[in-house]
Chain A
Amino acid sequence: MPSNIRLISRLDIKGPNLIKGVHLEGLRVLGNPNIFATKYYKNSIDEILYIDSVASLYGRNNLSDILAKTAKDIFVPITAGGGLRSTDDVKDILRYGADKVAINTAAVKDPSLISKVSSMFGSQCMVLSVQAKKVNTNTWEVYIEGGREKTGIDVIDWVKEGIKLNAGEILLTSIDMEGTKLGFDLNLVEAVSSISPVPVIASGGMGNLNNARDVIIESNADAIAIANVLHYNKYSVAEVRDHLLNCNINLREVS
């Protein structure tokens, strides 16, 4: 089991709003993302992840305002993704206060973007966002454009290539489990973390505390991205943390 497990709150953004969908579709507005992020920070979240979920569809990014406000009084690592297409886009978003970027569509269309971002800003900054949809028991296909478009690319092959190009982390979202609250796709996370020398963030499906435990203990996730159960107040960050600490998982202890 990996050590230094991180709890990451995932905030999907559309325009100025925090939204939540199921299978990355059917979006529902939840409110001002800065208010949610501040609450999670005060409750000792380890990192914050913003994804502008429709940005790549329209070729724009609305995150800059949200990031600028966040970075003023939130002092944990912030990752931003959605619609980033070039090293110039990355430079802009870092200037607004992001520490890392998550890139999916543009990296699939031009894999050299991964190595360009890594060499310009360091590999720690380059999070490869992978949206995976199950094909059969042990095969998954890469999707782009916010889970709307298939690519025919095998997830494991793509992760290997991304790592070769110096991606520093893998944000692995299961389209099948996303928003279902039925638990992470354990096979998917296990398959990816077993071939990945860089940290893997499991995203999509957390519905209860044991889902979090399972994906760490059984599938070797290095971090979990949590959305629904935090946004809808089913659990606080502290409840997730305490549960995992009680399961003897190595993560930050907060006094």
Chain B
Amino acid sequence: MKIGIIDYGLCNLHSISSAIKYLNYDYKFINKPDDIDKYEKIILPGVGAFSDGMTGLRENNFIDNLCGYVHNGGHFLGICLGMQMMLTESHEFGIHKGLNLIEGQVIKIPSEVNSKTHKIPHLGWNKLIVMNNKVNQIAEMNNYVYFVHSYMVKCDSQYIHANTKYNDLIMPAIINYKNSYGCQFHPEKSGQIGLSIIQNFINL
């Protein structure tokens, strides 16, 4: 099994690579776009601002190869910002184009829903509400996982494998297109359950 982690220069790759090592798989950091097709699994981690993430991918010429890999049915996992970049566009500090693998937007988490207010970011452990009409789920109902994000994904329900509920606000937590997955939470920071989600992705 060859697992590639995309290194586009801006985020900490330490936690995701430690998790994969702990699960006893080899991984390589990929900094050349042509290398993407050599891997059976591709992981795109990410923290920080959307535009910085897209700029990182663009400047390293990853976009075409990455999209090609996903459209051809490659196994891809985007984490946090890596998930958000799968969408059409983001409204974080202006409007920025994403990879457009899944039609939809990234919008600021509303701080009030049904006149209940909550803090932003959505931070801490929350549980997954897994859709039971989907195949190849990588998580289980009521799994608790660790979130930290101020922006959320909005897309058609056909792409949503799991949601999470923050007070009265329902947000996508796992999205899917072909064999590509996006996790809004950090599986590499979600204890044994997070590791099992990464393992399930690797097993696909």
Contacts and interface: CB of A to CB of B under 8 A. Distances in A.
Interface size on B, as a range, is: 35 or more
B194 A75 contact: yes
B160 to A, nearest CB: 21
A94 B47 CA distance: 13
A77 B48 CA distance: 16
Contacts of B195: 75
Given A3-B167, A94-B14, A253-B144, A73 B22 contact: yes
B12 A94 contact: yes
Contacts of A199: 119, 123-124
A252 B48 contact: no
A251 B127 CA distance: 10
A75 B194 CA distance: 8
Nearest to B120: A197
A78 to B, nearest CB: 9
A102 to B, nearest CB: 15
Given A99-B15, A122-B47, A75 B188 contact: yes
Given A71-B14, A73-B22, A75-B194, A252 B125 contact: yes
Interface string A43-86: 01010000000000000000000000001110111000000000
B126 A4 contact: yes
B12 A76 contact: no
Interface string B11-39: 01011001101100000000000000000
B10 to A, nearest CB: 10
A45 to B, nearest CB: 9
B123 A124 contact: yes
Contact of B191 (A75, A99, A168): A75
Contacts of A124: 47, 121, 123, 148
Contact of A95 (B12, B118, B186): B12
Nearest to A124: B148
B146 interface: yes
**In the complex, which range does the number of interface residues on chain A fall in?**
20 to 34
B189 interface: yes
A168 B144 CA distance: 22
B167 A75 contact: no
Interface in B38-91: 47-49
Contacts of A4: 122-126, 147, 166
B190 interface: yes
Contacts of B127: 253
Given A6-B125, A252-B144, A76 B47 contact: no
A77 to B, nearest CB: 5
A135 interface: no
A88 B142 CA distance: 40
A95 B127 CA distance: 29
A71 B144 contact: no
B190 A75 contact: yes
A5 B186 CA distance: 17
A164 B65 CA distance: 40
Nearest to B118: A3
B188 A97 contact: no
Contacts of B147: 4
A21 interface: no
Contacts of B142: 253
Contacts of B49: 122
23 contacts: A2-B119, A3-B166, A3-B167, A4-B124, A4-B125, A4-B166, A5-B124, A41-B191, A46-B125, A46-B146, A75-B18, A75-B19, A75-B22, A75-B189, A75-B194, A76-B146, A77-B146, A99-B189, A121-B47, A124-B123, A198-B119, A252-B124, A254-B144
Interface of A: 2-6, 41, 44, 46, 71-73, 75-77, 94-97, 99, 121-122, 124-125, 168-169, 197-199, 222-223, 251-254
Interface of B: 12, 14-15, 18-19, 21-22, 47-49, 118-127, 142, 144, 146-148, 166-167, 186, 188-192, 194-195
Q: Nearest 9 pairs between A and B by C-beta?
A: A4-B124, A252-B125, A252-B144, A124-B148, A122-B48, A6-B124, A77-B189, A122-B47, A97-B14
